[in-house]
Amino acid sequence: MTVTTKNPVITRQGEAVINNDQQCTWIGANGTRSTYAFSNPSRSNILIFQVNGAPEDAMLGDGKLNGQHTMQPNQPTATLRGSWDVAGQEITITNLSDPNADCKIKIS
């Protein structure tokens, strides 16, 4: 199920697409290993997003999940992936992309 409301909440399983200046809250189950993917469907705009609240050992690509991340345009099928035990934590993902650019983030 894909959530398309403004500032959606994902619990355990699901997807969300958030526009510029929106955020998504992801609430995982304690003791459950989660796999997540972020993708930039834009063919012309750089996606910038911030992740907060993840466990310190959670990784995204080659770096920590917590922090700011950038995905280049023209790579609509490129995806950053990771996996970790969410330990029941509430994770916030914010789209920081240029408000004048049409740049969405797909979270699954």
Each domain of the chain, given as residue ranges in start order, spans 2-107
94 or 43, which is more confident: 94
Q: Which of 43, 68, 44, 64 is nearest to 55 (CA)?
A: 64
Instruction: Assess whether pLDDT exceeds 90 at residue 99.
Output: no
Residue 80 has a pLDDT of 61
Domain 2-107 has CATH 2.60.120: yes
Residue 67 has a pLDDT of 93
- What are the strands, taking DSSP E only, across the chain? 2-3, 9-11, 15-18, 23-27, 33-39, 47-52, 59-60, 63-64, 67-71, 79-85, 90-95, 105-107
**pLDDT class for 1, splitting at 50, 70, 90?**
very low
Q: What is the pTM of this model?
A: 0.80
The residue to which tokens 């959670």 are assigned: 58
